[in-house]
Structure 1
């Protein structure tokens, strides 16, 4: 399998190299022979790592803030049908709106820079975590809740021993989507109104019509996204297997 993938990649790079400057203007598609040396230069002089550090720091802060808010609201609404009936439709309506369309509004609120990136990321993460927490709380089997209450458990016992463990698995499952989307939110904010980070690196080179720089910055995003996906797949593999096996019972 690896050998086949390597052949596909090599063929793709050869076709890319031959097409650039002949079939397609090099301003639109820079040659790999220009992109990869520039990418390596950025690696050695620290440009990539500095930009990635800004992007991932903001994405992490957005993940923490949005995740904490999503879990908190999800737990409250998941336990109360009355509150859920009131607020869930409003949350769903906002969820259906493209979050990136809110960036101009966020600029009015917090300006540009890290605050904008963190806020954008947090809003995106909030909805992903909220819905999984909400449904995780509500999908607990009634028999388990009844068993705890029969043994004299209080409402707090039901929450702590039954509902939260159930929701935790759903939250872990949501992280597989929330982490990459947190990064996406930061990158988009950096591209539109940032002054640092990987998104700003893409935007800066694109605005100066530097095709090689644009593709090198996109390559950095591609590598970072791939590594994050593999990391989250590894971290969530066991919880997701447990969740799926439990759902199948």
Structure 2
């Protein structure tokens, strides 16, 4: 005869839980509201001090910057140049990232080949990227090909080293176990090496995505007739502080947005690892 133990359901006192929920909700909103307050205070101080503390010719005013930004948004200037920047950054990131993953995986998986080739890649990486721009202008001309080439170069090195050392950091016993079980090279790559190196790859992704945008903007400033970097160079060359700050703030907003999106994506990509750590 079996005796079943009946566990009575735990009653939750809403009167005790409600204050805790309200406190948690307030904490959740406290940080964004605090940041917004700082931005508002800085903009107000800027508006009041322009022309009084600092000559308006050099710093303009937030109100005039907003007028210029709204004008660009209305006549299509903003979208025309932003779309060019995004297109170049997207193509450059895809090319540089794909090459970095491929080369990093091959060299990281082969100890001899990696030790042979890696010093040459490091020597190229040690060169200042801006020093290569004149050479790239000779090869690719100005415009989008130049922007894509510089972006791909910057992304390649950031992604390569994370992939390379991530693959080398994989536990050798896991690879041997997969081979004992009859796993093919594809199985080892997909089921062992890439998942184990995912943390490194994600770290490289978080670094390279914003830097891809930076590389394209720098190329646009140096040699281009289109893009957000071109807007910065054009307006600064005309001593137009309102236009220069409007372009810079556009880049600032885009950079923050891209960084937050990448943070969300990388956090979701590593959920499986976090869950594994919590269950240990």
User: TM-score under structure 2 normalisation?
Assistant: 0.83
Task: Give the deviation of 1:19 after TM superposition.
Answer: 2.1
What is the aligned partner in structure 2 of residue 172 from structure 1?
Answer: 202
Task: Give the deviation of 1:137 after TM superposition.
Answer: 1.2
Alignment of 1:106-185 (within 5 A): 106-185=136-215
Flag the 1:244–1:134 CA change in 2: closer, same or farther, 3 A. farther
What is the aligned partner in structure 2 of residue 190 from structure 1?
Answer: 220
- Of 218-227 and 92-101, more deviation after overlay is shown by 92-101
Alpha-carbon distance in structure 2 between the residues aligned to 1:226 and 1:160: 33
Alignment of 1:1-249 (within 5 A): 1=30, 2-243=32-273
Asked whether the equivalents of residues 100 and 185 of structure 1 are also in contact (C-alpha less than 8 Å), the reply is no
- Of 232-241 and 185-194, more deviation after overlay is shown by 232-241
SS at match of 1:153: coil
Task: Give the deviation of 1:32 after TM superposition.
Answer: 1.0
Gaps of 5+ in 2: 1-29
- Of 46-55 and 112-121, more deviation after overlay is shown by 46-55
Flag the 1:172–1:3 CA change in 2: closer, same or farther, 3 A. closer
Gaps of 5+ in 1: none
What is the aligned partner in structure 1 of residue 21 from structure 2?
Answer: none
1:98-124: per-residue Cα shift (whole Å, max 9, x none)? 323321221111110000000000000
What RMSD, in angstroms, separates the aligned Cα atoms of the two structures?
1.9
Alpha-carbon distance in structure 2 between the residues aligned to 1:59 and 1:246: 35
Alpha-carbon distance in structure 2 between the residues aligned to 1:242 and 1:94: 36
1:26-71: per-residue Cα shift (whole Å, max 9, x none)? 2211111211111111112221111110000000000110011101
Flag the 1:164–1:4 CA change in 2: closer, same or farther, 3 A. closer
SS at match of 1:27: helix
SS at match of 1:194: coil
Aligned length: 249
- Of 62-71 and 236-245, more deviation after overlay is shown by 236-245
- Of 235-244 and 67-76, more deviation after overlay is shown by 235-244
1:73-117: per-residue Cα shift (whole Å, max 9, x none)? 101101111111111122122223332332122111111000000
Alpha-carbon distance in structure 2 between the residues aligned to 1:17 and 1:198: 24
- Of 208-217 and 9-18, more deviation after overlay is shown by 9-18
User: TM-score under structure 1 normalisation?
Assistant: 0.93
**Greater relative contact order (Cα < 8 A, sep 6+):** 1
Alpha-carbon distance in structure 2 between the residues aligned to 1:226 and 1:164: 29
Alpha-carbon distance in structure 2 between the residues aligned to 1:186 and 1:109: 17
Alpha-carbon distance in structure 1 between the residues aligned to 2:186 and 2:273: 24
